Chains A and B, each alone.
Chain A
Amino acid sequence: MYRRTRHDRPATDPQPSSLPTPEPTTPVDPQAAITVAPTDAAAAVAHGAPAPTDAAAAQPLRPAVTPPIAAASLVAVDPGPPAPHRRGRFRRTFVVLTRTAVAAVLLAVTGLVGLALFDMAYAQFGSHPDKDALAWSEHTPAYSLDGGCAGCHTVEAGHVRGSWHKDLRCETCHGPQALHAATATRTELGDVAVEPPSRDICRRCHERVAGRPADFPQVILSTHYEGAECAQCHGVHQIIAVTPPLISHPRTNLPDCIVCHAPEGIKGLPDGHKASTDAVCMTCHKPGKRLELDGVLE
């Protein structure tokens, strides 16, 4: 009952599909419709015009579907000769597609304008985590991203690589590279210099402080050659472990004798000695030998 072939109805028929249309079991003779509703303009137009493509065909039909003559018009318009309307259908499809395209373009333009207005007016106050995360990721770093100090400072970098500090980054002691880039010239070290490498730098890590791991190298500052600079014995970049020079004096990585044994030095000169050069000292004191408290060579 709900199946309807294309030939049951003319292509130009604007009959709403939702209307319950009685399906004739046999095609009704068009002439019979005219006899039933002779004054119906629709019937006349439907049969008279071979290709009714405009409102002229549809409009007059409307009054025909009014209740008093509904049954008659339904019978009248439902069947129709299918053949002459092929061209009209094609043209109508073209019109429909054109309209759809125009409507789509209008919708797109309206949407874009609306989005732009929204972005300008309201959306700037909305929450935009993606944009903000991107902004955070674009901050300028102060510490170098790749530790690229060794490109220029090859000698120092080589010394560090051979030392106990081989796993340290330059910026751990010298501070952020950005300060260096901002202030340093060829003659001026700028803010990154640790000049001279003082106890204040070394004690940050190597002073004995409660809580430090027991196996970490650390000293009690007050009893560890107070007055001397760490680098005098331990070096600057070529930091190596130094055997405490209390008893024996291995001449490796040590400064001149008078650095520590000058009159005002850590261990002042005994009476009768004068500050001199290493060569003079070593005429009597052989390096590496044990020195008795009374000053007599062993």
Chain B
Amino acid sequence: MTALSRRELLAAGVLAVPCLAGAQTLIGRALASDPTKAAGTEAETAYDPKAHEWGFVVDTRNCIGCGLCVEACKDENHVPRDPELNRTWVERHTQLPDGTLLVEAPEAGGAGFPVDPVTLAPMAGPKGDSAFVPRLCMQCDNPPCVSICPVSATYKTPDGVVLVDQERCIGCGYCVVSCPYGARYIVPSGGDSPTGNAGVADKCTFCYHRITKGAQPACVQVCPTRARNFGDMNDPLSPVSILIRDEQTVTLRPEVGTKPRVRYIGLPSQEL
């Protein structure tokens, strides 16, 4: 055997680096070329999360409080039937004569609303200053739930959706209490469950299985009055881009610094 001098070993190493890199590139190209030719259409239609930036605009001026969105969400995402546990819900905000704000969401708004917020009796006509406010996860750009999760089970996707890895979640509930919007719940055992797991955190995903296939979230699709609007903010012609451009939109609780992706139009003036 020939002993190598230090110089020769170094020279061999320096030579080996570009050789190996070149070989790896060639092999990589050889491997990549076949699948793209075989499944070219699939590669073209594959979902690219970096190409989208999803946004949601709630136009409360249009909301009629029918609650069909709440029902649709439960059907679509196997959310537990318990009216306390929801990915989305509808509130009615009423300015009472004494100046206080009454917020009510009977059965999360999923079964409609009593005709009168105070007496629950049929009313003769519009009375007081009431408005319906659909609620859902704000898909914050600066989400406290992601920061607080001790096991990194909840995370932000490149297209702007906050998701929960329910295989990894340990169900500690920190995210549930850290959310300023109350948008999360812990899946109870024995009922419907979005992924079949119980004892884990769950929340609105913008119907990630629908939007990645080019469809609208279920709540947006069933909304009869276009109170819920969804689209790609990268697309200047999407409904959300047009609404954000043409209307004055606000976010809920801007003071907590979460930078919500869900924006509102026409919130009752006393809440601004």
- Taken together as a complex, chains A and B put the C-alpha atoms of A133 and B66 apart, in Å, by 31
Choice from B2, B65, B76, B223 contacting A212 with Cβ under 8 Å: B65
Whole-angstrom distance from the CB of A96 to the nearest CB of chain B? 5
A143: chain B residues at CB < 8 Å are 72, 75-76, 210, 218, 221-222
B3: chain A residues at CB < 8 Å are 14, 55, 58-59
B75: chain A residues at CB < 8 Å are 142-143, 175-176, 179
Within residues 92 to 149 of chain A, which ones have a CB less than 8 A from any CB in chain B? 92, 95-97, 99-100, 104, 125, 127-129, 132-133, 135-143, 145-147
Quick check: is B214 within 8 A (CB to CB) of the other chain?
A: yes
Question: Max chain A CB contacts within 10 Å: which of B1, B130, B131, B208?
Answer: B208
Whole-angstrom distance from the CB of B124 to the nearest CB of chain A? 7
Quick check: is A185 within 8 A (CB to CB) of the other chain?
A: no
**A136 near B209: Cβ-Cβ < 8 Å:** yes
Contact with B along A213-256 (1 / 0, CB 8 A): 11010001110000000000000000000000000000000000
A136: chain B residues at CB < 8 Å are 163, 205, 208-209
Whole-angstrom distance from the CB of A215 to the nearest CB of chain B? 10
- Taken together as a complex, chains A and B put the C-alpha atoms of A149 and B205 apart, in Å, by 26
Quick check: is B123 within 8 A (CB to CB) of the other chain?
A: yes
Contact with B along A33-59 (1 / 0, CB 8 A): 000000000000000000001110011
- Taken together as a complex, chains A and B put the C-alpha atoms of A187 and B47 apart, in Å, by 39
Choice from B7, B16, B94 contacting A104 with Cβ under 8 Å: B16
Quick check: is B259 within 8 A (CB to CB) of the other chain?
A: no
Choice from B47, B92, B122, B194 contacting A222 with Cβ under 8 Å: B122
CB nearest neighbor in B for A12 = B2
Choice from B8, B155, B157, B207 contacting A96 with Cβ under 8 Å: B8
Chain A interface residue bracket vs B? 35 or more
Whole-angstrom distance from the CB of B48 to the nearest CB of chain A? 12
Chain A binding surface SS class = loop
A212: chain B residues at CB < 8 Å are 64-65, 126, 132
Whole-angstrom distance from the CB of A166 to the nearest CB of chain B? 11
A214: chain B residues at CB < 8 Å are 126
Known contacts A169-B221, A169-B222, A133 near B208 by CB under 8 Å: yes
Whole-angstrom distance from the CB of B113 to the nearest CB of chain A? 5
Within residues 184 to 239 of chain B, which ones have a CB less than 8 A from any CB in chain A? 194-195, 205, 207-210, 212-215, 218, 221-226
B68: chain A residues at CB < 8 Å are 172, 204
Whole-angstrom distance from the CB of B272 to the nearest CB of chain A? 17
Instruction: For the complex, count residues of B whose C-beta is within 8 A of A.
Output: 73
Choice from A139, A145, A171, A211 contacting B132 with Cβ under 8 Å: A211
**B20 near A211: Cβ-Cβ < 8 Å:** no
B117: chain A residues at CB < 8 Å are 210-211
Whole-angstrom distance from the CB of B223 to the nearest CB of chain A? 8
B222: chain A residues at CB < 8 Å are 143, 169, 171-172
- Taken together as a complex, chains A and B put the C-alpha atoms of A95 and B4 apart, in Å, by 10
CB nearest neighbor in B for A52 = B2
Whole-angstrom distance from the CB of B197 to the nearest CB of chain A? 12
**B7 near A137: Cβ-Cβ < 8 Å:** no
CB nearest neighbor in B for A145 = B215
**A208 near B208: Cβ-Cβ < 8 Å:** no
Quick check: is B142 within 8 A (CB to CB) of the other chain?
A: no
CB nearest neighbor in A for B217 = A143
**A127 near B153: Cβ-Cβ < 8 Å:** yes
Known contacts A132-B165, A133-B49, A210 near B92 by CB under 8 Å: yes
**A141 near B215: Cβ-Cβ < 8 Å:** yes
- Taken together as a complex, chains A and B put the C-alpha atoms of A167 and B213 apart, in Å, by 22
- Taken together as a complex, chains A and B put the C-alpha atoms of A115 and B80 apart, in Å, by 40
Known contacts A92-B2, A145-B215, A203-B112, A176 near B210 by CB under 8 Å: no
- Taken together as a complex, chains A and B put the C-alpha atoms of A16 and B6 apart, in Å, by 7
B155: chain A residues at CB < 8 Å are 127, 129, 132
Known contacts A136-B208, A216-B64, A210 near B127 by CB under 8 Å: yes
A208: chain B residues at CB < 8 Å are 115, 123, 125-126
Whole-angstrom distance from the CB of B75 to the nearest CB of chain A? 5
Quick check: is A25 within 8 A (CB to CB) of the other chain?
A: no
- Taken together as a complex, chains A and B put the C-alpha atoms of A127 and B146 apart, in Å, by 13
**B2 near A204: Cβ-Cβ < 8 Å:** no
Complex A-B: 17 CB contacts under 8 Å: A14-B5, A16-B7, A104-B20, A127-B165, A129-B155, A133-B157, A136-B163, A137-B208, A137-B212, A141-B213, A175-B75, A176-B75, A208-B123, A209-B113, A211-B132, A212-B132, A213-B61
Q: Contacts A168-B224, A210-B94, A222-B122 given; 7 further ones with Cβ under 8 A?
A: A127-B152, A133-B157, A143-B72, A143-B221, A167-B224, A169-B221, A211-B94
B-contacting residues of A (Cβ < 8 Å)?
A: 14-18, 53-55, 58-59, 92, 95-97, 99-100, 104, 125, 127-129, 132-133, 135-143, 145-147, 165, 167-169, 171-172, 175-176, 179, 203-205, 207-214, 216, 220-222
The 6 A-B pairs at the shortest CB distance, nearest first, are namely A211-B130, A139-B209, A145-B215, A137-B212, A132-B165, A127-B152
